Amino acid sequence: MAAAPVTSFRRQDEDEEEQRPRLPNGDVVIVVPRDGHELPASSSSRNGAGVAAPLLDHAASGAGAADAPEDDDEERPRAPGETFSPWRAAAAAAALLLAALAVAGYACLYARGDAGAAWGLLATREGDGRAARASFLLPLYPKPPRRGAGAGGKRAGGRDEPPQNSTQAFPFPLAGNISPQGLYYTTISLGNPPRPYFLDVDTGSYITWIQCDAPCTRCAKGAHPLYRPARGSKIPASDPLCEGAQHSSDQCDYDVNYADGSSSMGAYVRDNMQLISEDGERENADIVFGCAYDQQGNLLDALENIDGMLGLSNQALSLPTQLASRGIISNVFGHCMTRDPSAGGYLFLGDDYIPRWGMTWVPIRNGPADIIRKAQVQQVNHGDQQLNVEGKLTQVIFDSGSTYTYFPHEALINLISSLKGASTRFVQDDSDKAMPFCMKADFSVRSVDDVKHFFKPLSLQFNKWFFFSRTFNIRPEDYLIISDKGNVCLGVLNGTELGYDSEIIVGDVSLRGKLIVYDNDENQIGWIDSDCTNPRKQSRIPFFLQRALRSQLV
């Protein structure tokens, strides 16, 4: 049976609170570069009870190495003309030297120079000495278009409309979460018995909250019935997790403001979450999250098809950090969104699905005051034209909770100027209000594929690692949008109007087609191009060493 609802989580001083300005919540950040990378900790499945959250169906592939034939003790007669060659011996020695260099390179690359630790890991038999930490896959679903349109709403095609007159929409300091209107959500099972809830995936927030009957003052209809907390699930103000948070006399409260002027208010509760690994092993964990009983602004419209927000930053109350603090996963997670807007992708918790080769990593800053992950970039280009102001600090926030990408005002003006000069076949069309900047072509346009070859990619260039370039490329099809009028519109908006004068926010439209990894253990973010259709667990040992090590260690 469902647990009895809490009599009331509403604060007694709520009427007075409504007269006071809301305090914005914080977020997470990336800056001073550090050389090298560490080999992530290995993981294995865990056991538990409960009902599993739905997972993506995907194919798993593997290749086994055939055993080498045993050497014959009897001397083999040499073929006619076969003699000992010193050149062959030299070639064999060179091959061994290259293999040794490869091992050393692997150790340096994935262990930040700690070759002894890396070799210790390589010298361990597969499955031995591994930390008992699991990894979990969750599906990502594209949000369906909302009914109607308007400022901050969704237009045809399912994309969010940019807020109109946004300068007037943000009267409070923007130190809180970035946006509550991303394009993708996932499924989480909560409670006992477990029930599914659809949560917006938000890497720009540390608060997970679900619309809650506690009772609810202002809640949207949502995808499922309101969550009903059990008696005794409320987090008291004396709980260590409530330190630094808002609280009343008997409960720990939250009040989060988003950059579009929306807000959510509620109280923290603790309940059971069910997760399942790829091989069917189940994990139950008590998770602290927000019981949201008062939503305001455009957020109420955004909740038409979901039930709440999944906060994925590196703060103590974020889901990855809570799971990592219990030793269930490494404090690492990532997402992969397909380029096809009608398809989804996947979210993973833990480090088993991180490619061991080809990842580009940049450092993040994680100071006491940093609640948004930010990575410092040296240069922002459109093709070979620099967009950012020389010498001005520019940082990047990868935010799955934001639909669009945002540039500071100066960089955006330079980008628009560059686009105007891209081709004489396009002219600005101010009559198209789908986005702030749209262009009409002198030919019929049905999709971005028809026009992408006229435009150049955007590139975010980070500090080099030794002589290796570290660049995040955004292809034209990942920053251009075709409006209902068939115009080519820029999917990059003015971040300065939202209070982000020195930050670039990379939203969902520019994150598609890339596997993005947030490594809170090592304070770094990485990416690699991917079709995001076939998540695979990665071996801890590079493929070219697996057979050699197996023959030596068995």
308-331: burial string, b at 16+ Cβ within 10 Å, e else = bbbbbbbbebbbbbbbbeeebbbb
- Any catalytic annotation for residue 399? yes
Catalytic choice (27, 160, 202, 352): 202
* Both tokens assigned to 183: 């394009």
d(CA 536, CA 473) in angstroms, rounded, equals: 24
For residue 247, which amino acid is it?
Answer: H
Catalytic choice (253, 351, 370, 399): 399
Peptide linkage before 163 cis (omega within 30 of 0)? no
Backbone phi, psi, residue 471, to 5°: -130, 135
Q: What is the 3-state secondary structure (H, E, C) of 232-294?
A: CCECCCCCHHHCCCEECCCCEEEEEEECCCCEEEEEEEEEEEEEECCCCCEEEEEEEEEEEEE
- SS3 label, residue 505: strand
Q: Do the Cβ atoms of 366 and 29 come closer than 8 Å? A: yes
| Cα dihedral 484/486/488/490 (nearest 10) | 0
Q: CA quadruple 381, 387, 392, 398: dihedral positive or negative?
A: negative
252 Cβ partners below 8 Å, 6+ apart? 234, 235, 236, 237, 239, 241, 242, 245, 246, 267, 268
Strand partners, 190: 195, 273
d(CA 250, CA 9) in angstroms, rounded, equals: 10
DSSP state of 104: H
- SS3 label, residue 460: strand
d(CA 325, CA 320) in angstroms, rounded, equals: 9
- Any catalytic annotation for residue 521? no
d(CA 500, CA 190) in angstroms, rounded, equals: 35
49-71: burial string, b at 16+ Cβ within 10 Å, e else = ebebbebbeeeeeeeeeeeeeee
Q: How far is CA 278 from each of CA 59, 67, 283, 344, 349, rounded to the nearest angstrom?
A: 11, 28, 12, 18, 12
Instruction: Let me know the angle formed at the C-alpha of 493 by 186 and 22, rounded to the nearest 5 degrees.
Output: 65
Q: Active-site positions?
A: 202, 399
